[in-house]
Amino acid sequence: MYHYKHETIVEAGAESTFAWFEHEGSFRRLMPPWEVAEEIRADESLEVGSQRVFRFPMGPIKMTWVAEHTGYQPPHFFSDKMVKGPFWSWSHDHHLIEENGVTKVVDEVTYQVPFGPLGNLADRALGGRLVRRRLIQMFTARELRLQRDMAHHAKFSGIPRKRILVAGSSGMIGTQLVAFLDTGGHDVWRLVRRPVKEGANELQWDPSANILDESSLDGFDAIIHLGGEGIGDKRWSKGRKKMIRDSRVDSTSLLSEAISKMRRKPEVFILASAIGWYGDRGDEELDEESDSGEGFLPSICEDWENAASRVKDSGVRTIFLRSGIVLSGTGGALGKMLLPFKMGAGGPMGSGKQWMSWISLDDEVYAIHHLLMSERSRGVYNLTAPSPTRQSVFAKTLGKVIRRPAFAPLPGFVVRILFGEMGVKLTLESQKVLPTRLIEEGYEFLHPNLEVALTDTLGAWREK
C-alpha cells in the first residue's frame, strides 16, 4: 500500500474553497489539461454515496473510473474512493484547514497499484517512480488550476453572478469555459443540437434547420456563441468549406435575429471569431484596428462577425473574440503536433519563418471571463498571447519542453500533398497578431511566455 500527500495554499476562506469543489465543473477543471477524459455521470453533490463516473484512454482501450464519496463534513473535509478503475484500491481524503483567511488544502491518497504483488514488484524495481511521478504531475496541475480559478473569480467577487447560455459548449474551449463559469457560481446553461438530457441545464436548437425557440432565451444575462465546424478537422473540399462557413454564419444570424426581437435582451452577446480575419500578412504587426485580409478564412470571419450586426445594432453589448492558436494537450493544433514530436519526428513547417499567434487554453478562458464581467468591454478583441513566435521557434520550444529533437522539417509541398489547402492556410501562412485592447484594459496574461505555456499545458515541469 502506498501513500501520497500534497498541499495547496489558496488565498481564500475554507467556505468559498469548499464551495468551489462542490460545483460540478470542478471535476473538469481539476482534470490535468493533457488528459483526455470523458465524464459519463456526475451527481450534484459531494455527499456520502454520490458518484462521479468518467472514462479515459489507457493505451488502445478506454478505462472507466467510478469514484464514490465516502466522507462529507463541509467546509473542512470530504473523501472518495475508487469502486471501479485501474488501481487495486484508491482512497482520497481532502482536508481544508483555514487560518487567517487562507486555506490549506491537503490531499492524501492511499492506493494499491494495479496487478497486486506483480504491480508492486514492477513499481519497486523502478524505485516507486511510475505512479508517483504521475501523481506529482496530476496534483501539481490541480494545485495550479484551483489557485488560478479562485483568484480570477475573486477579481469580480463584487459583481452579481450571471445566468449564462453557451452555444458550442462541447468543444475544446466551451468545455473548459462552462466548467470554469460553473465553479464561479454562475448559472450556466448549454444550447445544444442533440436532444436535451433530462434534468440538465440545456436548451435545444437546430441552426441548420433555422429552429430556435426565441422565448427560451428570455432571462439570460449573457449569451456566448462558440460553435462551428472544426476548421482543421478535415481536408477542405468545396462541400467542407461551405459547411465551415454555414455552421458559423447561419447559426450566428439565427441567434442575432432572435436576440434583437427580445423584449428583455441579455446584457452581453459574445461571439467567437478568429485571427483568420487578417489573412496571410507576413511580418506586419496586426491589432484590432488592422484591415481584414483576402481569401477563404478572412471572408468567413467577416461574414461571421457581420452576422451579429442585428444584435449589435439593437444596443446589446457585443464582443467579438478573434482567437489565435489555442494551446491544448488534448486537441487543436498542438494536439495534432504532439505525436510526431514525441516520436522525434517534429520540426519546422515550410520555411519556419511564418509567425504563429497563440494563446494558452487557460488564458483563453480567463480572457473571455474578463470581457464577460467587465461592463466597459465591447467590440473586437484579439485573444492571442503578447509574444507571437515564428514557427521554427515554436517547434524548437515544443521539442525542448517534451525533451525531444525538433529538427525534422516538413517542406511546404509535403504539407500541401498531405493536407491540401487546409494545411497550407493553417500552418504556412503568417500572422503576427497582438492583443492590444486586452492589455489596454488591464488583462494580465497567465502565460505570456511560450515555454511556460507549453510546460503547464503538457505537465512537463522539471522534478525538484
DSSP conformation letters of 306-317: HTTHHHHHTT-E
The total of other beta-carbon atoms located within 10 Å of residue 86's CB is 14
Tell me the average pLDDT of the chain: 92
Q: Spell out the alpha helix ranges (H) of 4-95.
A: 14-22, 25-30
CB contact at 8 A, 421 and 236? yes
Return the pLDDT at 122. 54
Rounded-to-integer distance, Cα 25 and Cα 43, Å: 11
Residue 268 contacts residue 318 (beta carbons within 8 Å)? yes
pTM of the model: 0.94
Place of cell 485580409: 293
Whole-number pLDDT of residue 280: 96
pLDDT score at 331: 87
Give the chain's radius of gyration (CA, Å).
Answer: 23
pLDDT band at 41 (very low <50, low <70, confident <90, very high): confident
Query: What is the phi/psi pair of residue 431, to 5°?
Result: -145, 115
Residues 119/1, Cβ–Cβ less than 8 Å: no
Contact criterion met (CB below 8 Å) for 327 and 453: yes
Contact status, residue 331 vs residue 278, Cβ threshold 8 Å? no
Residue 389 pairs in a beta bridge with 356
Q: What is the pLDDT of residue 423?
A: 82
pLDDT higher than 70, residue 119: no
The predicted pLDDT at position 410 comes to: 85
Q: Which residues contact 275 (CB under 8 A, 6 or more apart)?
A: 286, 322, 323, 324, 357, 382, 384, 431, 433
Q: Where are the domains of the chain?
A: 2-154, 163-334+359-403+433-458
Residue 277 DSSP symbol: G
What local confidence, expressed as pLDDT, does residue 418 receive?
76
**115: pLDDT strictly greater than 80:** no
CATH class, 2-154 region: alpha beta
pLDDT-based confidence at residue 127 (cuts at 50, 70, 90): very low
Q: How many other CB atoms are found less than 10 A from the CB of residue 342? A: 14
Helix (H) or strand (E) holding 417: helix 412-423
Q: How far apart are CA 130 and CA 132, in angstroms?
A: 6
Question: What is the DSSP track for 360-392?
Answer: EHHHHHHHHHHHHH-TT--EEEEES-S--EEHH
Could you tell me if 379 and 450 are in contact, meaning their C-beta atoms sit under 8 angstroms apart? no
Alpha carbon distance 453, 339 (integer Å) = 18
Q: Which CATH class is domain 163-334+359-403+433-458?
A: alpha beta
Which phi and psi (to 5°) does residue 259 adopt? -65, -40
* pLDDT over threshold 80, residue 373: yes
